[in-house]
């Protein structure tokens, strides 16, 4: 079988397109073209400890560092990236973006000192319905890029909750209070844990995760998300 010809026909019939602009991707590009990746509205908060994402958690939960990779606005072309990851089954897109995020995190002494990468978990029923946890794929990309341990099963969501999307800030906190626990708390003893999620808005879900982790002796928590509104 002529594999180059087969690849050519596959690309002709099912072209790989950038999830942001829709242009055809070249061989070295994966999911997002280099032009869109270059113009992605990065926050660079990983270089600024006192930043808006970190301030979300001031006085609420004791974190070390917090950042988000890029900004997005409702209706912007970069919102399609998040929508593709979360709702269109493009889970590998999360890993690809996680790798790019990991490159940025390695520039920061605070983030490069983490021991374990931990995704914010979905409830098993929701993960089964969606087919995957997008935060796990982002965390996987970060862990591979930074050469860190990925902890996928220690932090778990024990209660299925309603979507946070249409809830007020106060309702979001009520919705996630006490819904996370650790299956093996000692695995996080004296470890610096990097919590990973796709988007941060009020920070209610991440705060609930952090509280569960910080119940462990000597544990420290930092936070990273792919995007912030």
DSSP string, 116-129: EEEEPPPPHHHHHH
User: What are the pLDDT digits (tens) for 36-66?
Assistant: 999 999 999 999 999 999 999 999 999 999 9
- For residues 202 and 140, give the distance between their C-alpha atoms in angstroms, rounded to a whole number: 24
- For residues 145 and 105, give the distance between their C-alpha atoms in angstroms, rounded to a whole number: 10
pTM of the model: 0.88
Higher pLDDT, residue 131 or 159: 131
User: What are the pLDDT digits (tens) for 73-105?
Assistant: 888 889 999 999 999 999 999 999 999 999 999
Cα atoms in the 13 Å half-sphere on the side-chain side of 52: 13
């Amino acid at each position: 079988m002529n594999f180059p010809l087969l690849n050519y026909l596959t690309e002709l019939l099912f072209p790989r397109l950038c999830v942001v602009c829709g242009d055809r991707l070249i061989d070295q590009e994966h999911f997002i073209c280099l032009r869109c990746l270059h113009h992605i509205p990065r926050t660079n908060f990983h270089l600024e400890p006192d930043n808006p994402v970190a301030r979300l958690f001031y006085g609420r939960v004791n974190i070390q560092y917090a950042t988000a990779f890029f900004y997005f606005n409702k209706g912007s072309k970069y919102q399609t990236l998040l929508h593709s990851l979360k709702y269109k089954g493009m889970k590998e897109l999360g890993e690809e973006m996680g790798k790019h995020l990991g490159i940025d995190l390695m520039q920061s002494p605070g983030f490069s000192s983490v021991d374990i990468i931990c995704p914010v978990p979905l409830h098993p029923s929701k993960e089964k319905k969606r087919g995957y946890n997008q935060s796990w794929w982002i965390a996987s990309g970060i862990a591979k890029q930074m050469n860190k341990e990925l902890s996928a099963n220690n932090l778990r969501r024990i209660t299925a909750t309603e979507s946070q999307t249409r809830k007020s800030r106060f309702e979001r906190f009520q919705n996630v209070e006490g819904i996370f626990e650790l299956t093996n708390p000692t695995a996080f003893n004296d470890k610096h844990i990097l919590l990973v999620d796709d988007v941060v808005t009020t920070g209610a879900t991440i705060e609930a995760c952090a509280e569960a982790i910080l119940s462990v002796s000597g544990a420290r928590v930092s936070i990273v998300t792919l995007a912030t509104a």
